Structure 1
Amino acid sequence: MSYPGYPPSGGYPAFPGYPPTGQESVYPPAGQYPYPAAPGGYPPAAPPAAGYPAAYPAPGGYPGATQAAGMPPYPGAPAGSGFGVPPAGPAFGGYPQPPAQSYAGGGPAQIPVGYPGGQAPSPMPGPPAAMVQSTQGTIRAAPNFDAGRDAEILRKAMKGFGTDEQAIIDVVANRSNDQRQQIKAAFKTMYGKDLIKDLKSELSGNVEELILALFMPSTYYDAWSLRHAMKGAGTQEKVLIEILCTRTNQEIREIVTCYKAEFGRDIEEDIRADTSGHFERLLVSMCQGNRDENQTVDYQKAQEDAQRLYQAGEGKLGTDESCFNMVLASRSFPQLKATVEAYSRVANRDLLSSIDREFSGNVERGLKTILQCALNRPAFFAERLYHSMKGAGTDDSTLIRIIVSRSEIDLVQIKQMFTQLYQKPLAAMISSDTSGDYRRLLLAIVGQ
């Protein structure tokens, strides 16, 4: 796979802020999940599937009104109702649940809790294929697009004394990534010059990094970010986690191919050289791009996986890390969501909290990122954005990377979750943490 013109002759200069100097908080902080209450409360939990009583299947059969021996009741379950259903509101350590259309891989799973007559139903189908990859981006392809006209606007904005940054912003913030690639090709055809080189000569600092990121093909941008996270002294593990633990199989396979084609390196070998132990194994698993993406949820398997994870962690002395790696690296995101829900009944503790207790460091962050994406992908990215701007200083590279990479996928939903979690709009926090053309471009991308 080749991306003409990337990198330009001479290569990209190191972007400002690499490696990021800001320190992010652990997501969420170890041992607690203090999500601020949203105005009006969190979206209510989905009701159980029609026709199923409020009792959860336990190993060895499907009890009706009685609780399976040895299994703790779910907190808040009414007396005599078996395991009950989770109370409405934030569950699983407070991690907010997404609206039905918001998480790639399916909306909130409706758990058949208890099976009438002792007969287990067929697995419930997942969402329509169109819902698997959300398309609620803030940037969409511009209608009546003319690559030549846009190339001319950019040429005029950079020609002569000074630069018309607003004209550049008006173009790049309102065109899809595919359209920007066409503009880049038209610019070279019309003027015999490389648009990227011209932009670099006219811009600087964070606004340069942001605009150059917007002109990178999306797969190349992910591959470029991973390469720079491992290049030179030190490793930016949070960048590796953010990308490899959140992308789809197809995206990961394209990233791996692009990484090899553009940088002449094997990403798996680079990961092995820069990381170690269980964290290394988790990332290598992610690089395979072989996660099950069947949207049908098998609730019996979810129950079995929950038991398996409990016995590998909370239920024994020590931790069987390979068991956690196997389940979290191979199950589909909807299946993992059902497993999280089953685990809360098996262990009387949410799975995110158990991972806090059983793991530490980067492997803990990686495992929790996978689960957070299964529960609510937009909320995960909202947290990352918040921590990139929280406190003194701004982690601009993280801010730019998430805004650009999610701008055509689910930034609308990320904005909604940001407001729910932190009682302030994303645009308001960007406005208070950035300035000048950099702020204007960021706000244009997020739709303000």
Structure 2
Amino acid sequence: MYPYGTPTLLPAQAFDPVKDAHDLRKAMKGFGTDEDKLIEIICRRNNEQRQEIQRQYKTHFGKDLIEDIKGETSGNFQKLLVGLLRPIVDYYCAELNDAMAGLGTDEEVLIEILCTLSNVEIHTIKNQYLRLFGAHLESELKSETSGNFKRLLISLCAAARDESGRVDPNKAKEDARELLKAGELRVGTDESMFNMILCQRNYQQLKLIFQEYESITGHSLEKAIKKEFSGDIMEGLIAIYKCVTNKAEYFASRLHKSMAGIGTNDKQLIRVIITRCEIDLADIKVAFERLYGKSLKSWIKGDTSGHYKHALYALVGEQRSS
């Protein structure tokens, strides 16, 4: 779906799903589990190939691969493998559903997913969400969020962004002035103007608008957003801004945040690795090292352990070390 970006996980060459299915069964049969074999197969095939392996597994053994994996593994290692085995659309739907289930809402997940995907991806997720959970994603978002942030998510959920890639310098000047009038030049902020421009214009046009804004004011629109907004709406608008200016840096910051400070947000770490490894994780690794001065591998090594760590290494395209 993304012609722009360097993945860390490529389709396996000389792929043999029947052999893979048999090898996985062998790795889990009898006493003990051969976790290295699970990693070697599941973490070194792309999503399409993993779906084919699951079909062969069910055909040959009359068993569900995900259920068998759940029975043989535990903790974050299990969560990672199960996430990898789900079709990517189902995985996104489950993450969105989890973010809104129970008490409280994990707004960061909603932002990370809805602010970064293309129209066709959002439409596909919306249709599948309804099939899987019997509810409309949009109505779930409406009941779980409020105010300006709710309006931002509903705009994104409409997936009506212009994706023509056409740029209009005069229109960019106009939009930059509108953003200035809606924010820094008035008392209070007209969030609807920010919402409209950032959710409707194509990425190339937005780049131009951001440049215009900077040449008019002498500072970035990001700085203005941070001054004019706060909380979830600010985070959402900043995420769109970062995805337009440098998507790899946005996801590098998500990975950094998942591991910085005390404890690790494994759910976030797993989600970014699973969703980006076949798209642009190699670019994200480069951005990570540039922003934080140390490699992604060294951070993973410091924050994870055991089979979970080695599985992450495989997905981020790193050689196994101690």
Residue 245 (str. 1) matches residue 112 (str. 2) = no
Could you list the per-position Cα deviations for residues 51-106 of structure 1 after superposition, in whole angstroms to 9, with x for gaps in the alignment? xxxxxxxxxxxxxxxxxxxxxxxxxxxxxxxxxxxxxxxxxxxxxxxxxxxxxxxx
Name which one, 1 or 2, has greater alpha-carbon Rg: 1
Q: 2:293 aligns with which of 423, 428, 447?
A: 423
Q: 1:371 aligns with which of 234, 238, 241?
A: 241
Could you list the per-position Cα deviations for residues 194-214 of structure 1 after superposition, in whole angstroms to 9, with x for gaps in the alignment? 111000000100000000010
CA RMSD of aligned residues (A): 0.9
Unpaired segments of 5 or more residues in structure 1? 1-129
Tell me, in whole angstroms, the C-alpha distance in 2 between the residues paired with 1:209 and 1:335.
39
Q: 1:412 aligns with which of 267, 282, 287?
A: 282
The aligned runs of 1:201-240 (5 Å cut-off) are 201-240=71-110
Residue 380 (str. 1) matches residue 267 (str. 2) = no
Could you list the per-position Cα deviations for residues 157-193 of structure 1 after superposition, in whole angstroms to 9, with x for gaps in the alignment? 0000000000000001110100000000000000011
- Aligned match of 1:316: 186
Contact 1:135–1:408, Cα closer than 8 Å, also in 2:
no
Tell me, in whole angstroms, the C-alpha distance in 1 between the residues paired with 2:278 and 2:171.
34
Residue 331 (str. 1) matches residue 212 (str. 2) = no
Tell me, in whole angstroms, the C-alpha distance in 1 between the residues paired with 2:222 and 2:32.
52
- The TM-score normalised by the length of structure 2 is 0.97
Contact 1:154–1:168, Cα closer than 8 Å, also in 2:
yes
Segments ≥4 residues shifted beyond 4 Å: none
- Greater share of helix residues, 1 or 2? 2
How many residue pairs get aligned? The number is: 318
Tell me, in whole angstroms, the C-alpha distance in 2 between the residues paired with 1:133 and 1:361.
33
- Aligned match of 2:215: 345
* Overall identity of the aligned pairs, in %: 47
Structure 1 residue 134: Cα displacement: 2.2
Could you list the per-position Cα deviations for residues 236-261 of structure 1 after superposition, in whole angstroms to 9, with x for gaps in the alignment? 00000000000011110000001001
Structure 1 residue 298: Cα displacement: 1.4
- Aligned match of 1:400: 270
Which residue type is aligned with residue 198 of structure 1? D
SS state of the match for residue 30, structure 2? coil
Tell me, in whole angstroms, the C-alpha distance in 2 between the residues paired with 1:285 and 1:167.
44
Tell me, in whole angstroms, the C-alpha distance in 1 between the residues paired with 2:218 and 2:17.
58
SS state of the match for residue 130, structure 2? helix
SS state of the match for residue 314, structure 1? coil
Which residue type is aligned with residue 117 of structure 2? R
- Aligned match of 1:273: 143
Contact 1:310–1:346, Cα closer than 8 Å, also in 2:
no
Contact 2:122–2:159, Cα closer than 8 Å, also in 1:
yes
Structure 1 residue 135: Cα displacement: 4.5
- Aligned match of 2:306: 436
Residues 135 and 351 of structure 1, relative CA distance in 2, 3 Å threshold? closer
